[in-house]
Amino acid sequence: MLGLAALFGGAIGALLGLVGGGGGTLAVPALVYGLGLPLSAAVPASLMIIGLASAVAVAPRARRDVNWRLAGVIGASGVPTALLGGVVNHHLDQHALLLVFAAIMVVAAVRMLRATSETGGVCDLPGGGVAWRRCLPRAIATGLLVGFLTGLLGVGGGFLLVPAMIVALGLRTRGAVATSLVIIVINSAAGFVPYLVAGHAAADMDWPLIAAFALAAVAVSLPAARLACRVPAVVLRRGFAVLVLLVAAGVLVQASTALTA
């Protein structure tokens, strides 16, 4: 079982390093259905794993590709709603949450499959700066929404952040991926706080499995991030979208079966 956990962790680390998201999208189903953890433990474990792996994956991109000011705005906006999402999670049916999770995954994947321009948009200025007057309201709204979903569903937010920053904010793919990793670290830390304080999942945590998962994710995320610099963005984006759709279908079947049982 430790080997399986390491295999899943390596896949999650590769996704984070390559496309700046998708780790949480796959980590929760992998922990629940692949390794048998209850959702109450899988959500905080996912936040911890994704936050660590993202911090490592952003290192090769930190100087050149990260928009630190935009990451700060979106990340700070998402902190209070990530805390709120973590609190709300304890009051909702867990299988219904997985259905919501699957639906959001489908929406995000469809957005990723659509062709996007690399010429910049609402927030992206030709010289590499940010058009703050137009961009700030959208950036704050993006942070609020993604932060809440991070705390509620145990996802770092990258599978929503990357499409949002490309489509809604008009960033180029490389900058969106790198900036997404920074925001994932912020959101994951904020979303983990309610679980840490409440201690609801401590008894359900299988620490050896989680440690194997986390170590593999961290170990793979760095070389994957370096490889991403040499792979066309459209190839990564579309491959990621197809994978998310497949996982969403599996989660939908599992959660629907549990609700009707």
Q: What is the pLDDT of residues 45-97, one digit of tens each?
A: 888 899 899 999 888 888 888 889 889 999 899 888 888 888 887 787 777 77
CB atoms closer than 10 angstroms to residue 122: 15
- Residue range 138-151: mean pLDDT, rounded: 86
- pLDDT computed for residue 150 by the predictor: 77
- CA dist., res. 21 & res. 41, Å (int): 21
* pLDDT given at position 229: 75
Q: Is the distance from CB of 24 to CB of 159 less than 8 angstroms?
A: yes
Closest CA to 188 of 158, 150, 152, 226: 150
**The pLDDT value given to residue 140:** 93
Among 115-129, 157-171, 193-207, 237-251, where is mean pLDDT lowest?
Answer: 115-129
Residue 155 is predicted with a pLDDT of 67
Q: Give the CA dihedral 73, 78, 80, 81, nearest 10 degrees.
A: 150
pLDDT higher for 112 or 8? 8
3 state SS of 224: helix
Q: What is the mean pLDDT of the chain?
A: 81
Q: What is the mean pLDDT of residues 224-240?
A: 78
- The answer to whether 5 and 216 are in contact (CB under 8 A) is yes
Contact partners, residue 127, CB within 8 Å, separation at least 6: none
